[in-house]
Structure formats: C-alpha cells, structure tokens
Amino acid sequence: MAFVAGIDFGTTNSSAAISNGGTPKMVSLEQSFDTIPTALYFPNNKPGVYYGRDAMARAIDNESIAGYNDKEEDNGRFMRSIKRALGTNLMTSGTLVKGKMLTFDKIILYFMRHLKEKIDMAANESVESVVVGRPVHFVDNDLSADQRAQDELKKIATDAGFKNIEFLYEPIAAAFAHERTLNEEQLAAVIDIGGGTSDFTIIKLGGDLKNKFDRSDDILANSGTRIGGNDFDKNLALAEFMPEFGKGTLYGGRTKYEPVLTVPVGHFHDLSDWGRVNLLYTYKNINNIKKCLWQAHDKERYGRLLEVIEKQLGHKVLSSVEKTKIHLTDNDMAHVVLDFLSDSPKFAVQRTKLEESISPLITKISGIANDCVTMAGIKPSDVRLVVLTGGSTEVPYVRDVLCNLFQNAKISAENKLASVGLGLTYDAMRKFKTR
C-alpha cells in the first residue's frame, strides 16, 4: 500500500502523520517536534522563507533556534494565523511581502508545500493521498464562504502536489485517534478548542465501531464557531496590556473650546490581533498617533504605542500576551516585563483578570457546545467520555466550564496537539485503501 497522510493545518500549530497500512506515525515537521507553529517569516534582504519556531525566533527574538542573529532582517514580514484568511476577502486582497503584494492563497501555499516536503521525506516517496482537517465552520453563519474556504484549501493542497484530497472535521479526527484505545462502545463528546475555532462532536466510539468503513451513522452531531485561542489573546491584550499603551487615556482640552476625548481605539484592536498587527505599520498610522500624542494627557503610556509601531514591535507584544496566558494556566499571577521597549514597563496580571476578559467568549463557546448536544438528540448526562483536544483546552477556566457540561463523563486529554493529525491519517487509510 502506498503511503497516505493526514494534515492538521491549524491556526496556531500544524501537524501531520503518515501510514502505509500500519499504525500511523507522526511526521517530524521541525527538528524532533511533531508539531510546527503555523508561522512564516519572509526576510527582506535574503531569499527564502523560514517556518515554524525558526520563523518566530527570527521575527520575534531576532535570533533563530540555531543562534542566528542578523539585525538586517529585523523588518522582514512575519505571518501567523494565516488559516483565518480562508473564506474571507483577505484571500484576494493580499498583503505586502518584500515590497510586492502577495495574496494569502500563495502565502498558505508556501506553508502547505513545506508540510508536503516533510511528509514526502518521512515516507521516502511522493505522497499523493491526504485527508486534511477542517473546522466545523471556517466562517460563522455563511455557508457560501464556508464552502469557498474548503475549496480554496483544496486548491492549495492540489498546487502543493497532492492528487487525492479529502476533508474531515477536526473533532471527528480527534475522536478517531482516541478510540483506538477503547475496547467498549461509548458515547463521547469531543471538545476541540484551537487557535482559531472551537468545535464539538457527539459521536459513538470504540468496540467494533472502530473497524467500520462508513462511520456516518456514528456521528450524531457537529457544531462549531470561529472563536479560539487567538481571540483569548486579543481579549487579554485589550483588557490588561493595551492600557499600558494608553488605551482609555485622554487627549485634547488645551483650550476651553477644545474637547477632551478618549484616544482612538482602533490601533489597540489591531495591535491585539495576530492577523491584523502588520496593518499598523504605515506612515498614516504613525502620523496620526504623533498628532494625538502631542495632545495626549498620558504621554508616557501613549508614547509606547508610537514606539511599537515605529519599530514594528507588535509581534513581540502579542508574544508577551500569549506567554502570559500560558503562564496563567498553572499560576495565579504573571509578572510581565516588556523589556523590548525603551522604558521596560512592568506590571502584573492575575488569572482572574484573564478569566474575566475571556468570559464572554466562553459563554458563546459553551452555547455552541450545548447546541451540539441538542442536535444529537441526547442529554448531557448520556455522555460517558469527553475527549479534549487543542491547545486552548489547557486554560483551566475553559476546561472547567466545558467539562462541567458533562458531569457523568470521564475526561481524556491525551496527545492534545497531535491527536487530530493521527485521526486524519486513520481516516485516510479507510478512504484511500482501494486506490
């Protein structure tokens, strides 16, 4: 049997696995890691593209994992959360890379080709058949945009060199990976909270079901929404970080005829969003902030916003936000030092503040999970197993709220970051075994 593959192309991280009839094995996509950050870095003054951790290190830390350090590359183009462009007008509008407009289908193609090269290297052959994971909804409440997103991803996979391409909902893939260890049939709820989306599946797993070719009768319901870890980062940034850059402060009022206003909020929203931070780096934004700074009541904090944009430090800010969120998964307090700024501001963030900032998002996600239960025609108490996958389920508040929906269920959180890739490959073995 020729090798088949499964690709979990994620908003934050990606993974892949292969099989030629035996148990699927993960592909080492970056050194010895089974996962790779879905990130690219285009250096301005050198050819080539860097991927994953190396891309993040060059763009955010100015040195690669090999110890590389080249200040001439500081202003290269760093891209992350590229999956979120699928199905939106960003796919055709593009962005500036090395002085030229590059559409997002081409940017995603760079990354997909990189994954294909690693897969082929692991298989020692050109792998033609692949099952690609997809969220339940690429785009909320827009069926045509959702279908367009899948069509765009299929064309990208084709252009990368795959010939036989199928898709599977990511939470179903996680379920298929997990059920290999289940000897008895169980009713399961899969909770998949990734960087860009939250997806849910109610499915029958285990026992003799794992040997069935057609599993459609076992899948009782799917639901999902375009909310994930990137949105948690944004809410945390807006609540706890952006005030350190002047959010909520005032400007104007130099005379009794001049109104006192709150500084514009648009820049803070862009600075809090992985997908929009690069849009800040324009002369127009710099000039507008300088005009506002001249009248600012808190020049110290608002001046930091100007420094971030002039020096293109937005990704460093977001990296600090993400690290703070991760630190708060195991700690009640995070002490933050933004030492890449000239005045190295220091402040503290409590876990309760993270929970407050993301609470509206968790309420929406919980509602989508309940919708999945309703569509399945079951009661939450009927579920005996909860499968957690996706890095954002590490946030205790997220995990606790969602798992409490299924109080009679055992919780399984094994192999969170690689389970979707493995499950996609099990599905590929079924779908392509006769080809």
CA distances for 162 relative to 57, 64, 124, 350, 420, angstroms: 30, 30, 15, 47, 19
Residue 174 lies in a domain: no
**Structure tokens given for 380:** 């939450």
Instruction: Tell whether the model's pLDDT for residue 246 goes beyond 50.
Output: yes
Asked whether the beta carbons of 29 and 6 are under 8 A apart, the reply is no
pLDDT band of residue 278 (cuts 50, 70, 90) is: confident
C-alpha distances out from residue 77 to 51, 98, 106, 274, 321, Å: 12, 7, 14, 13, 20
pLDDT in tens, 155-174: 999 999 999 999 999 999 99
Query: pLDDT band at 72, cuts 50/70/90?
Result: very low
Q: What mean pLDDT comes out for the span 320-348? A: 96
Q: What are the DSSP calls for 237-259, one per residue? A: IIIIIGGGGTTT-EEE-SSTTSP
Mean local confidence (pLDDT), 368-380? 97
- The answer as to whether 316 is a domain residue is yes
The CA-to-CA distance between both ends of the chain, in Å, stands at: 9
> By the 8 A CB rule, do 387 and 412 touch?
yes
* Percent of the chain whose predicted confidence (pLDDT) is above 90: 80
Rounded CA-CA distance 173/190 in Å is: 10
Tell me which of 363 and 258 has the higher pLDDT: 363
Q: What pLDDT is stored for residue 254 in this prediction?
A: 81
Residue 189: inside a domain? no
State the pLDDT at residue 62. 58
Could you tell me if residue 79 is inside a domain?
no
At 301-329, the pLDDT tens digits run 999 999 999 999 999 999 999 999 999 99
Q: Evaluate whether residue 276 is within a structural domain.
A: yes
Q: How confident is the model at residue 71 (pLDDT cuts 50, 70, 90)?
A: very low
Confidence of residue 349 (pLDDT cuts 50, 70, 90): very high
| Residue 275, pLDDT score | 86
Q: Is residue 314 part of a domain?
A: yes
pLDDT category of residue 152 using cuts at 50, 70 and 90: very high
| Full-model pTM | 0.91
How high is the pLDDT of residue 104?
93
- What is the extent of the structural domain holding 282? 230-355
153 within a domain of the structure (yes/no): no
Name the packing angle between helices 299-310 and 314-327 (round to 10°): 110
Q: If you average pLDDT over residues 333-353, what whole number do you get?
A: 97
Percentage of the chain modeled with pLDDT above 70? 96
Assigned domain for 243 exists: yes
What residues are paired with 96 via a beta bridge? 101
* Distance set, CA 213 to CA 154, 218, 235, 255, 405 (Å): 23, 11, 43, 76, 31
Number of domains in the chain: 1
H runs (alpha helix) in 70-142: 90-93, 104-123
